[in-house]
Chains A and B, each alone.
Chain A
Amino acid sequence: MNVLPLMVALPLGMGFLIPMVSRKNRRTADVLGNLATLSLLIMSLYLFKIGNQIYFMGGWKPPLGINLVLDGLSAFFLLIVNLVAFIVTLYSVDYMEVYTSKLRYYSLFLLMLAGMNGVVLTGDIFNLFVFLEIAVISAYALVGFGTEAEELEASFKYLVLGTVSSIFILLGIGFLYSLTGTLNLADIGSKISGISAGHAFWFVVILFIFGFGLKAALVPFHAWLPDAHPSAPAPISAVLSGLLIKTLGIYPFLRIFYNIFGFPLLETRFIPQILMFLGGASMLTGALLALVQNDVKRMFAYSSVSNIGYIVIAFSLGTPLGIMAALLHTFVHATSKALLFLTAGSLEYRLETRNIKKMGGLMEKMPITGISGNIGFLSLAGIPPLAGFWSKLFIILALLDAGRLGWAIFTILVSVLTLGYYLRMNRYVFFGPLKKNLQRIKESPVFMTASMLILSLITVFLGVILIPHLRSIVLDPAVRSLINGTKYISMVMGG
């Protein structure tokens, strides 16, 4: 059976079904939501077994119809998305009790998931835009889910900037269509190589860098992220920081720049260098601003800006090692940052504050939250043998391998800054003397702790992805599908 359309259809259908069937009993929504994400996770694991596959919607062949394309890169991103989404829905069972409308929460969450799966799978550029809008509109609504003053403000800010970036992406798509006369990604790729790259083509590239860069929160376009991510409910912050900025920002960059336009073409006009500078700026700005934050979630949000910089720097090298490092860091950051946001949610759930100055000594009162928080910190700070160490090591090795000694030293320095802000946070939150008013704090409810434990185990053992056998299943096909660049075109058009 072909499961590709189900990856989009299942969350979409479930998103509409949940508010209809679970009005009387609120547990139904929990069960259905978790079942949906669990089955998506199982399907995304199953997809590694099938290998490359193309699904023609309605039986229309590539240049005419919309197709869903599964290759190594899509399978890799689907695994990340559905893994984190499942753990997050598990966490929401208890956490979302404090909000009034759980039904709408699950509905919007599954819509966002459908959008993200669609973006990763689709082989049509306008379809990509539509899925991107599905994901991002539900994200606007979820950021303002609590409808408090600050949340609405953050959500509105995100909405205005997000819509402007979407409009520029659509403008770019319009230009591409008028250049090539097709919307199919593979077909665009095969026609763009025949057209001499004129001003219009470079304008499209710049529009995409702006549009997808804003979705990924690269530095000149990052202003919305530190407001939007902390304002959302904790499980949503985990998804926004862990998944949304990668599937809507990094993935289209990788797919369009490597597979469609082809990297050698872009190198003629220093596009990779521009991306590297944006990435470097993100790394430094995010790390410096994270150092001075007193709000737990705001600090994590700035750390996300910094980590997106690592990923962008690594993939704009264009070498196999760089791509591998970027993909590995994408996975590591998705799990570690989701873990950290879930920890922050657990703290907020019990303490009802996010200010680190009001916390202290929580390690003994909330041991599981403390341990999972520390695992997340250590992983992102790059302490061996946790997964974050390996991905940062590979990024630095890739930079050295490409002969960018200055960038490698810069990356190491920013890593030290990262360690600095995590240690500062750790000292205020989990260690130090216990505050008097915190004597009666208890550990979080069972679903929250269970999901945090699962995610910490994954974060600890994510390094095993580098063992040759697993690597040849998970990581290598993704790297290969980018390295081979325009092979993607012949795969879609030929099959």
Chain B
Amino acid sequence: MEYILSFVLLMIGLYCVTTKKNIVKIIIGLNIMEYAINLFLILIGYRQGGIAPIRTPDMSLAYFLRYSVDPLPQALVVTSIVIGFGVLALSVSMAIRIYERYGTFDINEIKRLKG
């Protein structure tokens, strides 16, 4: 069920990227897609009623393996968030420069490249 939610989110993002005419909205769409994937990765490692993947001294290994969630996707998500942040920073700064050059955020008016 939660997987479907993350796919709905992905599709919303894709819809936003493909149909919106405003550069800022396209950037927002990209971010929605990125977060849908992050949610998906977290859900891969999640289990119902799981505990945080930290093993305290009084915890037996069997108990830990049985109840903890998978920590690896969480590490992936941290990396993916950082990458997403890099892309966001670059795209926003690019959007500012585009606004300086063209005086608009509308991609219908930003089309000098053809052929």
Residues of A within 8 A of B (CB): 126, 130, 133, 137, 140-141, 144, 147-150, 152-157, 159-160, 163-164, 167, 170-171, 174, 177-178, 183, 226-227, 231, 289, 292-293, 295, 298
Contact = CB atoms under 8 A, between A and B. Distances in A.
Contacts of B86: 133, 137
Contacts of A157: 113
Mostly, the B contact residues are helix
Interface string B90-105: 1100110110011000
Contacts of B87: 133, 137, 159, 163
B17 A164 contact: yes
B112 interface: yes
B57 to A, nearest CB: 23
B11 interface: no
Contact of B101 (A140, A148, A167): A148
A150 B14 contact: no
Nearest to A170: B37
B90 A171 contact: no
Given A149-B101, A155-B94, A177-B44, A167 B113 contact: no
B34 A167 contact: yes
Contact of A153 (B26, B76, B113): B113
A171 B91 contact: no
A148 B30 CA distance: 24
Interface of B: 10, 14, 17, 23, 26, 30, 33-34, 37, 40-41, 44, 72-73, 76, 79-80, 83, 86-87, 90-91, 94-95, 97-98, 101-102, 110-113, 115
A130 B83 contact: yes
B14 A164 contact: yes
A174 B34 CA distance: 13
A227 B79 contact: no
Contacts of B37: 167, 170-171, 174
A299 to B, nearest CB: 10
Contacts of A126: 76, 79
B95 A156 contact: yes
B19 to A, nearest CB: 13
Given A133-B83, A160-B17, A164-B17, A150 B113 contact: yes
A156 B112 contact: no
6 contacts: A156-B23, A156-B91, A164-B17, A174-B76, A177-B41, A295-B115
Given A130-B83, A170-B80, A153 B111 contact: yes
Given A144-B97, A150-B113, A227-B113, 5 more contacts: A130-B79, A147-B97, A152-B94, A155-B94, A178-B44
Given A154-B113, A156-B23, A164-B33, A174 B79 contact: no
Nearest to A301: B115
A154 B112 CA distance: 9
Nearest to A302: B115
Contacts of B97: 144, 147, 152
B98 A177 contact: no
A163 B14 CA distance: 11
B79 A163 contact: no
B26 A160 contact: yes
Nearest to A169: B37
A171 B43 CA distance: 12
A141 B44 contact: no
A388 B76 CA distance: 42
A164 B34 CA distance: 9
Contacts of B94: 140, 144, 152, 155-156, 159
A160 B83 CA distance: 14
A140 B86 CA distance: 11
Nearest to B76: A126
Contacts of A171: 10, 37, 40
Contacts of B10: 167, 171
A156 B76 CA distance: 26
